[in-house]
Structure 1
Amino acid sequence: MINAFLRLASSFRNRMILIFLSITILPFILFSAYAHTKSIEGIQQANITFSMSYLEQAKINVETYLAQLNEGINSLIGDKTLQYLLERPPLSPKEEETISVDMLSIVYEKKKQMDALQLRVYPLIPADYPTYMRALEESASVGEEEWFRQAADSNVPYWQLSVSDGPNRGPLLSYIKTFTSLHSRTPRGIVVTDLADNHLSRFFSPTKRLQRQKFLIIDDKDAILFDSAENEWTGDVLPSPQLLAKRNLYNEGVEKLSIYDQEHLITFVRMDSLPWTIISLTPMDALVEPVTEMNHLLLVIIIVYLLVSIGVVIYLTRNFTQPVLRLVRLMRKLEEGDFGMYIPHQERKDEIGWLFRGFGSIVRKIEDLIAQSTRAERSKKELEFQVLSHQINPHFLYNTLESIRWKAENNGRSDIGEMVSALGNLLRLSLNQGKDITTVGREIDQVKAYVQIEQARIGMPLRVVYFFDEDMLNITFMRLLLQPLVENAIQHSIRGNFEHGKVILSGRIEEQDLVIDITDNGKGIPDSVIQALEEESEDQKMSGRSGVGLRNVNERLKIYFGLEYKLQIESKEGIGTRITIRHPILKEKLENGA
């Protein structure tokens, strides 16, 4: 960089340009930096003043609301009828039903007078009030839950936060209070009042709130009871030990701290009636966003001014040395095999224009030749695939088999009808509406149809087991891959030992590939067959041994997806064989019924 600067400053013209830029640009940049700093300080101070004023008002509103809520609960507890109903357990089911109706009426009337989501009164022994508990849609075993026992053993009311994972229900803040008799300290029951997030969010919706500014309420255990930003952090512990420590020392304050790796301007106020703290969090990038936009505009102006100032130098160089240098770079890219480079169009009529146009013409001709070669290779592979996969006319066989099945069933030979039906189903799945790809589920159905035919043909059951996750069954898959391998395992590996022979098909997803294993406990595949499968000479491909079987599947995988997707075979004589198919997860989606 230093050498480049020295070369640039060696010219008198360039030195004058640099001096001019230093005189005009540097003072402008220094002034902009000073204005930026003062603007941020002013915005921060205005936000602190507004936030503290708003938090003080929100504290008063919240405390007033909670005081009214507590008065309503005390009014319910002081109801003499409710006290009488809970004075003793009911002596009979009929009495219990009468008490349940009366209690529900009292609670319902009081609920209409209170600004709460839900109001519930629990007897100290819920099991003695089954009808009442069913009406509350609560189990009588609620008395055994930890929160209930904690409330019953304590005369001090407390708040409890419960967060539901359901899609239609948010966090609930419950006020739990155990009440006693009006004339003694004998416990009578428990009152639970539920508040939804909207009961508190109405106190934290300022019209001038900055973007991404949020308000929190935390309790004395540092847990977040309320988050105005759609309860993003509700139920979590506030991850700021510095703020929590300062909250314990002061009733209000201002801090600039980092929370979840983002710097915030924080103001807080402690409540008087409850051990809660109301906090305002404003991201610093949101505060400085207006100033940042102004700086961006200023930067654009500086860049434009700089470009205009050095325009003369650019004009002098771009018409001579730069075009030649650009052409040399393009040639080097061409030597490296980069045919996707952009070649600018030249309207010049001189030798440089002729060079650019001639070079572009040569590149286009080379691209056309490569494209022709690619199309020819693709056509060759498609023809090879058609030779490997298309064998007979399946439409004719499918229609003929349907006629045979119909005649067999009309003549009472259901076994023949089932076998022909399975064969017809196998043929239909093989046909696949003329498409080269299907789904994993349809391939498995094709294997099952083939196994059914083999069982009927040999007259004894075959043990073929399938282990596939449900989410794999609808994934796109090349057709006619599994059935030839299962057929090979049945015909050449476990044949002669069907009573103990077993074939297992299992599938899984590894990164961007489907991996399917076909395992059997048969005789194994000879090494000579596996070695021949690896050979790829033209004589072996044309020898006719590649029909429907291992070579067929192996060749199709290599033609369609490349050499890295060929079959992987592990086989030991007398122990068994495991053949692994690795198939890429295709982006193509099949139409319904494909």
Structure 2
Amino acid sequence: MRFRSIRFKIIASVVAYIAVIGVLGNLWLYTHLNRIVTQKAEHLDRLYTDAVRGQLERGFSEVFNLSVICAHDTVVARIVSREDHHSLEAVRESLHAQDLLNSYLRSCPVNGYVDKLILFNEGDLLIQAYGRQNGEVTDREKIAALPLFAELLSSGEPWIVGFGGSITASKLSDSFMILFRVDNIYDPGSCGYLYLEMGLDMVSDEILRYADPGSMFVVLPETGAVLSSRGRLTVPDGDEYRWTAYDDGQRIRRGNRTYRLDRTPLESVPLGLYSLTDVTSLAREDMQILYSVLIVVLASLLAAGGIAVTLSMHLTRPIQVLISRIKKISANDFSYDPGIEKSHDEIGSIGRVVNEMSQNISRLLRETEEMYEQRKNAEIALLQTQVNPHFLYNTLNSIQWMAEIQKNPGIADMTRSLTNLLRNIAGITGDKITLEEELRLLDDYGAIQSVRFMGIFEMVNTIPREFLSCRIVKLTLQPLVENAIIHGIEPSGSFGTIVLSAREEGPYLCITVEDSGQGMTPEEIAGILSGEHRESGTSFNRIGVANVHTRLQLVYGGDCGLSFESEKGSFTRVTVRIRKEQ
């Protein structure tokens, strides 16, 4: 198989086209699917993260609201303000305050994670609600020893939150702590305190509800401590596990796997919610998609090769037969060959055309000889019938001279006008002439028509001289004047006037032909512009008004041409709009 043969080109073209289209299409498909998978995975991770963040925000907010309600309750404020807490009335108020604290705690949605809720002052007041951890007599001293309590005293703030170990020694997990000042309504200089302690196992429980262990965790930004699944805050040993040092969306290498780190800060508490997405698993899924794409491309190439070979066999065999027939034609064998018409497809049609062509060539060769003889005879006859135009001008001059001798000025003037008109038309070359030349043709034409119609019209030229050097398409005004005479003034049966005027409108020159004839209806104007109105057989040049309009638009553009204004029984005004050319 030769490289320049049609068969090779067909096979190569089909395989190349399918290869290019298949590779590009599948690469686009691979990229598109990869992007969709990645976006879906990121969207799913974001939904899980938002769900956990929402639950944690609600949990911490509920605990904070519980502290606010308890710290600002009037009963709590009154019991804190008492100086004597051992009297029967004081004990009764303390029990009432404890019942209120228990009631508020039970109504909190996350009460199952509250370990301690304690109301105390610097004196002997100590009231505890029933949390997860039992109260102890030494709880007041333990709270006072917390760094968080010292920070509240030094800051002067009404409340403070923090994280740390529980005041209950038997509790292994860390806690979230809130300390509130409870104002003394009698002595502004002294106050009580409300201490709330909640286990951080609430955070780990919420994370386990939505994510796998290790893929989502909480970090304390101040220290970099990480909350474990058991609710403990521990600072990682290695720098590679200092999660606060990484940017949001950064990729991290751990062993032979790669993760994307996403972090979301909590608004209610100083904690950061971190999530790790295994990018390595997504990459493996991408490779599976890529392998599938490669298999599809290879299968497409094999199918393309088979189709191309089969197609080339059906095409090249009939073509070889046609080539053989065309070689015979080039050797002057114009006989009819039915073998090249057996195929009922496009190649068979080509064979029929080749047979017709060979028969036509044979016939044309015979006709060419006959036409050659006829052409010579026609050229001789044409030369014999040509008339010198000067003979025609000399004859018209002779008629004019005889009319002047016989004292007939009408015939002499008409003959002179006809001679000038024919000489000017024959002597003008090109499609455009000056407006002055156009008006001279119009004067000669008007003189001839004035004799023909017995002087029933007068033509008045008011065009300013500065426009006479402008160029215009030849024989533009003559059909308009002819239309004004034949279809405007002559049918009215009275003497009429044809006025020629011109004005300048920006880059355009507008020439107006106005007659005082019978006017036209809008339907008649439409018929003239559309060409439905036929010109008279006695027209000078058989160029209709519609043709003038078409010529002007073709030469100057669609914004130029003719426009009509008419009033039935009064006048008709035709405006020629052309581009001004000097």
TM bin, normalised by shorter chain, reads 0.3 to 0.5
Q: Could you state the TM-score of these two structures normalised by the residue count of structure 2?
A: 0.36
Higher relative contact order (CA 8 A, sep 6+): 2
Determine which structure has more spread, i.e. the larger CA radius of gyration: 2
Q: Could you state the TM-score of these two structures normalised by the residue count of structure 1?
A: 0.35
